[in-house]
């Protein structure tokens, strides 16, 4: 609340009115609360720490005890002065869902995290300054695909974009975070920007500002894929404003696989039964049913 008070009162603590310019100038102020639910695996936890190291404006908090009363997160964010929440919810010790929200008024998006690889296990050679601000690279389809994608983009932009002039931020840009939309899923990659001194001959001429450097990228990690599931109007509450029809929950997938396996047995069992019935109907089983004897049967002909 302190920040709200400050922004409303427009006065410095010592009584002088604030600079008009500074007050009027729009600023990108973001603070991100990162936390997970209980029951995360080590991989999930490592992803969390990776994101925390990459995002200097983030604040890591202890695991949240509840999975039902997520509105508590709003209070938590208020407590820490955060206006973004990235909440990682683990289900069944294997599935990871990521909630991105803008407390206190929303919106919220719930994403399913798949193909998760942390920085440590990927062993990429890229590295960047801790606290440098990333360039955020978005796919054009975020703009063209529909309104919900623009909302999603906004949420990602504010959660993962490091604001200027933060306490722990460093002044140079040395990594890029890319979000690509393929098949309704958002693929996230992080690369280091490496500038190498190139010889005059092989430098491209389309970079007039600094012709002596070549740009190339080296991946840092982590890697993950996000599938949007649902969007709520409020922060962890409110009406559903978007729901992904194509999303199939991992539970469903597992159940299907199991059912298919069960189906195999059922089919076999059914087949056996059918065969039995057929044999009985033909009178091939002793003591059950009667054999139909027609006119041309040997027993009739040679009786």
Partner 1 sequence: MAKDHKLKAALDRHKGVDHKLERQKKLQKQAEKRKKQKRKDKGQDDEELEIETFSDDEQPTKDAQALITAQLAREGVAAEAAGELEKIDGEGEGWETDESEDAEEGENGGIELGALEDESESESELDEPVRNGNGRQNGDVEEDEEEDEEDIPLSDIESLASDEKGDVISHQRLTINNTAALERSLKSFALPSSLPFSAVQSVTSAEPVQIPDIEDDLSRELAFYKQSLDAVKEARALLKKEGVPFSRPADYFAEMVKSEEQMGKVKQKMVDEAARKKASADARRQRDLKKFGKAVQVAKLQERAKAKNDTLDKINILKRKRQGADLTTKEDDMFDVALEDAATTEKTDRASKRERGAAGGPPNRKRQKKDEKFGFGGKKRFAKSNDAKSAGDGKGYSVKKMKGKGGKQQRPGKSKRAKSA
**Is the CB of 145 or the CB of 289 nearer to partner 1?**
145
Is residue 40 part of the contact set for partner 1 (CB under 8 A)? no
- Residue 160 near residue 201, CB atoms below 8 Å: no
Triad 224, 230, 232: Cα angle to 5°: 125
Instruction: Build a one-symbol-per-residue string for 249-268: x at contacts with partner 1 by CB under 8 A, - elsewhere.
Output: ---x---x--x---x-----
**Is the CB of 171 or the CB of 271 nearer to partner 1?**
171
Distance separating alpha carbons of residues 164 and 175, to the nearest angstrom: 15
Distance separating alpha carbons of residues 243 and 230, to the nearest angstrom: 4
**Is the CB of 66 or the CB of 266 nearer to partner 1?**
266
Is residue 237 part of the contact set for partner 1 (CB under 8 A)? yes
Is residue 238 part of the contact set for partner 1 (CB under 8 A)? yes
Is residue 114 part of the contact set for partner 1 (CB under 8 A)? no
Give the closest residue to 30 by CA, choosing from 58, 50, 52: 58
Is residue 119 part of the contact set for partner 1 (CB under 8 A)? yes
Q: Whose structure tokens read 């999303």? A: 247
**Is the CB of 256 or the CB of 288 nearer to partner 1?**
256
Instruction: Build a one-symbol-per-residue string for 44-73: x at contacts with partner 1 by CB under 8 A, - elsewhere.
Output: ---------xx-------------------
- Residue 85 near residue 100, CB atoms below 8 Å: yes
Stretch that binds partner 1, among 2-10, 15-23, 102-110, 293-301 (CB under 8 A): 102-110
Distance separating alpha carbons of residues 267 and 207, to the nearest angstrom: 66
**Is the CB of 157 or the CB of 281 nearer to partner 1?**
157
DSSP letter assigned to residue 74: H
Q: Which of 246, 290, 294, 298 binds partner 1 (CB under 8 A)?
A: 246
Minimum distance from CB of 245 to partner 1 (Å)?
Answer: 4
Distance separating alpha carbons of residues 30 and 82, to the nearest angstrom: 7
CB proximity list for 111: less than 8 A, separation 6 or greater = 97, 98, 99, 100, 186, 226, 227, 228, 229
Residues 156-215 that bind partner 1 (CB under 8 A): 157-158, 161, 163-164, 170-174, 176, 178, 180-183, 187, 189, 191, 193, 195, 207, 209-210, 213, 215
Minimum distance from CB of 214 to partner 1 (Å)?
Answer: 11
**Is the CB of 166 or the CB of 289 nearer to partner 1?**
166
Minimum distance from CB of 37 to partner 1 (Å)?
Answer: 21
Distance separating alpha carbons of residues 91 and 38, to the nearest angstrom: 9
Phi, psi of 181 (to 5 degrees): -100, 110
Indicate the helix (H) or strand (E) that contains 23: helix 20-24
Is residue 278 part of the contact set for partner 1 (CB under 8 A)? no
């Amino acid at each position: 609340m302190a920040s709200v008070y400050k922004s409303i009162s427009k006065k410095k603590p010592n009584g002088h009115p604030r600079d008009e310019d500074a007050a009027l100038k729009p600023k990108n102020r973001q603070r991100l609360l990162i936390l997970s639910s209980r029951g995360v695996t080590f991989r999930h936890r490592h992803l969390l720490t990776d994101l925390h190291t990459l995002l200097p404006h983030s604040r890591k908090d202890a695991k949240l005890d509840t999975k039902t009363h997520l509105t508590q997160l709003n209070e938590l964010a208020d407590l820490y002065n955060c206006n973004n929440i990235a909440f990682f919810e683990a289900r069944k010790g294997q599935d990871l869902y990521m909630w991105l929200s803008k407390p206190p008024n929303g919106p919220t998006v719930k994403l399913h995290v798949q193909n998760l690889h942390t920085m440590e296990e990927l062993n990429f050679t890229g590295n960047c300054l801790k606290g440098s601000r990333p360039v955020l690279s978005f796919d054009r389809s975020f703009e063209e695909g529909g309104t919900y994608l623009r909302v999603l983009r906004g949420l990602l932009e504010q959660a993962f974009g490091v604001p200027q002039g933060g306490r722990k931020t460093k002044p140079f840009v040395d990594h890029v975070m890319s979000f690509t939309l393929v098949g309704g899923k958002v693929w996230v990659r992080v690369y280091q920007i490496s500038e190498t001194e190139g010889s005059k001959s092989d430098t491209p001429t389309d970079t007039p500002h600094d012709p002596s450097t070549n740009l190339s990228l080296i991946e840092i990690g982590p890697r993950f894929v996000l599938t949007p599931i649902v969007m709520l109007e409020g922060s962890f509450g409110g009406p559903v404003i978007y729901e992904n029809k194509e999303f199939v929950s991992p539970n469903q997938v597992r159940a299907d696989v199991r059912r298919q396996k069960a189906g195999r047995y059922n089919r076999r069992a059914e087949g056996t039964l059918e065969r039995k019935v057929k044999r009985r109907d033909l009178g091939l089983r002793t003591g059950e049913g009667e054999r139909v004897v027609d006119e041309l049967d040997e027993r009739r002909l040679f009786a």
